[in-house]
């Protein structure tokens, strides 16, 4: 889902994907109200989702439809790149890398193969963890423009390749915020921009660890990998990744209210089980358990699924 970025200067409609505050009821932001969809096995109901681009509110009651824009259908799949910002603990990084390496080919990511482009090509159930770099910046609050600058810098400097089949994730460590609304309006977002002459897709996802962790974490104490902030990031990463592959330029797959696939199933988890490492999980990717939101299946039988 999306909204017009800040009134007039909205050339870059950030497709904020985000999920904030699993609070209990609808929250109204300055530009739209968002209610949400109780339905998970876990009883955190409402998840305000803030989105830039099309106006609207969230709802999962309408089908998702195709609006003719590009879809990431490369047969080799999508390449995930990480850009670490802030003071990251190696143990946290390992969990996040394992997610990127494990999601491709999973029954869960396979849901995205129900999405096609204008030529009828499907999103491939393939994701590669294609590279990572650390940004040397030390800011504790980043504007949307600065986040774009972090991506641009990684590409221009050659620390990461320029890849139009890539999704560049700016991952901020605990204690670093995004000034357009991390932890108050959203938990992450995705968008695209022309960088170095190419259409580059990128996303922000922050570690919510700290006093406001409950705004962006389903589980704030025990969690499958013993790291509630990073475990929470994983679900947001999945949300942004699946939205990016199906709606990379914000003009492909979304419903009549502007909700993208991830938006339509945000904060719903389906059937869960007790994870060996603690807390609840709903899927295993590689050797790790994760609790990841469901994703919306396109086509004839639409709805939120785990596989």
Total interface residues for Zn ion by CB under 5 A = 4
Structure tokens at 26: 């609808």
Q: Does 208 bind Zn ion (CB under 5 A)?
A: no
Q: Smallest distance from the beta carbon of 23 to Zn ion, in angstroms?
A: 17
Rule CB under 5 A: choose which of 263, 267, 278, 279 binds Zn ion. Answer: 263
Rule CB under 5 A: choose which of 104, 166, 248, 262 binds Zn ion. Answer: 262
Check: CB of residue 18 under 8 Å from CB of residue 48.
no
**CA pair distance 307, 303, nearest whole angstrom:** 11
In this chain, which stretch among 121-129, 160-168, 259-267, 297-305 interacts with Zn ion, using CB under 5 A? Answer: 259-267
Q: Does 188 bind Zn ion (CB under 5 A)?
A: no
Draw the binding track, 223-252, toward Zn ion (x: CB under 5 A; -: no contact): --------------------x---------
Q: Smallest distance from the beta carbon of 261 to Zn ion, in angstroms?
A: 8
Give the nearer residue to Zn ion in terms of CB position, either 133 or 295.
295
**CA pair distance 88, 144, nearest whole angstrom:** 21
Structure tokens at 303: 């709805």
**CA pair distance 157, 145, nearest whole angstrom:** 18
Q: What is the DSSP letter of 230?
A: H
For the chain, how many helices (H) and strands (E)? 4, 17
> How far is the CA of 10 from the CAs of 6, 205, 251, 260, in angstroms?
6, 21, 15, 19
In this chain, which stretch among 9-17, 129-137, 161-169, 200-208 interacts with Zn ion, using CB under 5 A? Answer: 9-17
**CA pair distance 280, 224, nearest whole angstrom:** 6
Rule CB under 5 A: choose which of 17, 127, 151, 183 binds Zn ion. Answer: 17
Give the nearer residue to Zn ion in terms of CB position, either 133 or 218.
218
Give the nearer residue to Zn ion in terms of CB position, either 45 or 259.
259
Nearest to 27 by CA among 45, 6, 43: 45
Q: Which residues bind Zn ion (CB under 5 A)?
A: 17, 243, 262-263
């Amino acid at each position: 889902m999306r909204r017009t970025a800040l009134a007039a200067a909205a050339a870059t409609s950030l497709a904020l994907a985000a999920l904030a505050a699993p609070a209990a009821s609808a929250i109204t932001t300055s530009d739209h109200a968002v209610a949400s969809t109780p339905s998970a096995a876990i009883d955190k109901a409402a998840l305000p989702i803030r989105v830039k681009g099309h106006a609207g509110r969230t709802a999962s009651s309408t089908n998702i439809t195709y609006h003719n824009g590009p879809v990431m259908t490369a047969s080799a799949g999508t390449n995930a790149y990480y850009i670490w910002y802030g003071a990251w603990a190696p143990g946290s990084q390992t969990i996040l890398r394992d997610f990127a390496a494990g999601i491709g080919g999973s029954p869960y990511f396979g849901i995205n193969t129900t999405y096609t482009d204008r030529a009828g090509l499907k999103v491939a159930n393939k994701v590669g963890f294609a590279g990572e770099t650390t940004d040397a910046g030390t800011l504790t609050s980043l504007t949307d423009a600065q986040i774009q600058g972090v991506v641009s810098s990684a590409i221009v400097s050659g620390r990461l390749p320029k890849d139009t089949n890539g999704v560049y994730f700016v991952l901020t460590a605990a204690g670093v915020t995004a000034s357009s609304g991390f932890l108050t309006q959203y938990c992450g977002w995705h968008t695209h921009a022309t960088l170095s002459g190419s259409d580059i897709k990128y996303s922000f996802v922050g570690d919510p660890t700290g006093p406001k962790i409950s705004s962006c974490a389903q589980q704030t104490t025990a969690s499958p990998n013993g790291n509630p902030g990073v475990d929470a990031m994983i679900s947001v990463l999945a949300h942004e990744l699946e939205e990016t592959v199906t709606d990379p330029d914000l003009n492909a797959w979304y419903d009549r209210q502007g909700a993208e696939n991830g938006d339509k199933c945000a904060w719903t988890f389906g059937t869960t089980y007790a994870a060996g490492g603690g807390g609840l999980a709903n899927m295993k990717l590689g050797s790790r358990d994760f609790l990841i939101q469901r994703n919306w299946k396109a086509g004839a039988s639409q709805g939120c699924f785990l596989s």
